[in-house]
Every structure is written in structure tokens, then in C-alpha cells.
Amino acid sequence: MMNESGVVVIGSMTADVTAKANLLPRRGETVLGEEFTLVSGGKGSNQAAMSSRMGVKTWMVGCVGADAFKSVVLNSLHSHGVMTEFVEQLEDQKTGVAHIRVDSSGNNDIVIVPMANTQTNPDRVDRFFSTNPSVNTLLLQLEIPVPTVLYAAKVAKEKGLTVIFDPAPAAPFPDELYQWVDIVTPNETEASALTGVEVIDIKTAEQAASVLLEKGVNLVIITLAENGVLIADNDSVTHLSAFKVNVVDTTAAGDAFTGTLGACISEGKSIEESVQFAMAAGALAVTKIGAQTSLPTKEEVISLMNGGI
């Protein structure tokens, strides 16, 4: 039942309001912007869209509100081929919103207002798994309540799924969660917050990975932006170099990475091959502005891996 390839993402969905300007304003300052977009986002939704774009059957589990923004979210998921029968539309809630500002170098800051995402609870997790879906991989993040994340990880692990946990955005959670997770995928900032090791290079990433492995997770994958990716388990450490691309907007790069990773692992690819695919997807995502609008196709990912762009 659970051994067929397929991904379920239990997580957040938002409408992303993005403004791009040459420089981001300082406190109290107003600047003129150059570009504005309103698109679907949220770490869960982004990862589901990317997984589906890689050709893997993907379900989204979560909540949206009864407002105009729900159409932004649902229409985008449908366009990417994500199955949404377990996305609940709540009449007394508003759809989550992310306010994103991007500067000319592609750096961004984000304020997330979760709203309906706070209603993604264990009952909704049970509703999905009670249907006996043909999935073997679960993707989790921290834009829904932590107790739901912990519950979903436990249920999935007990059912034999591979559990991939993206600990973003940085938020407190019990160390117990690590024992229910197969793979954790922090970036440098998140790895630093989780371990107390300031991750600034490959050596410090190895130190942070050791701390996370001691907490009980089986495999640590730390994304290091232009410094590539570190893969570590209790037996070995591997470093993979980054793809060279022109950075326009880093929004959703991590989600492109994790969504692709989940899809590849679901299909049975090796860890290193899966990470290579994920790195290519993340690299391509930073070459365009926006969240789901920046996600590459499987063909584009393969092209970059083969030396194109």
C-alpha cells in the first residue's frame, strides 16, 4: 500500500505578495519599487508543486480560507498537477499571506501571516492517511503548528514512509521530532539555530551535521548556497559543489530543492543523485522572480545537470 512512489506534503499555503526594488528600505524609509507580483506560495505548497513538476504523484494537505486568495493558491496547485482533495477550505478563516521584498541582488526578507495554516491539525493528517494513499514519502516544514508536524512525522514513520523535514522557518520544536525524521534539510542559518554552531563554511557545516546526527536523525543535508551542499550520515560526509547561475531572487530556492529531493527519493534514486537533481532545481529557481512561478521543469533540471542552463 505504502511502497508505491508518491509524495504527500503536509504544510502551508500562502498568497505571496512580492515587491522588488533596487535596495530594500531601512526603518522608516520609503523606496520606489520596480516590480510587483501576486502568486501562490507557502513552503508546503511550493514543495508540492516542485515534486509534481518532477513527474511524481503529489498530494497537498492543509488549509486555505474563504477569500479571493484561496483561488490564487488552488489554481496554481492545480496547474502544477498537485492533487488537492485534502486541502480544506475554511469558511471562518483567511488564506495565509507572505509579504516578500526582494532587492537587485536577489536577497529577500519575508513576513508570513499564517492564518488558515494554523488550522492544519492532526485530524486532517488522519483524514489523509485513512484513505490508504499510494505514497512513500512525506515532506514537512514549520509553517504549520509544530504539534501537527510531530504527529504527522510519527504517523508517517509508523506507516513506513520516508520522512523529510525542512526545519524552516526557524521555530522551536521538541528534539523528539528527530527520531521520527529520516532526512533533515536545513540551510546555513537554520543549521546554526538548531545546533549552536555558526555555519559559515564546509567545516562548520560538518560540525553542525554531527550535532544533528547525535539528536537522532538518520541523514543531514545542509544547503550552503554558493558553497554547495553537505550530505552527512553516521558513516560518511560528502560535499557537492553548487551550480553556477545568475541570481535574481532566492525566494523558494530551498523549496525547489526539498520538493525535488522528495520526488527523487520517492522514485528510488540514490541520495547523492537525488541531491544533484535537487541542487539543479534550487539553482534554476533563483534565476526567476517569485515562488511557484520560479520553479523549473524536470527537463530544465536535467538540462542544467547535463551542462546547459
Show which residues are catalytic: 255
Residue 219 makes CB contacts below 8 A (sequence gap 6+) with 182, 183, 184, 231, 232, 233, 271
Cell of 294: 520560479
- Of 127, 185, 118, the residue nearest 155 (C-alpha): 127
**Residue 146: CB atoms within 10 Å:** 13
The answer to whether residues 194 and 167 touch, using CB atoms and an 8 Å cutoff, is yes
**Cα angle value 186/82/302 (rounded, 5°):** 65
Please give the C-alpha separations between residue 46 and each of 170, 193, 205, 272, in angstroms, as whole numbers: 17, 23, 26, 22
Burial of 136 (0-12, 13-18, 19+ CB in 10 A): buried
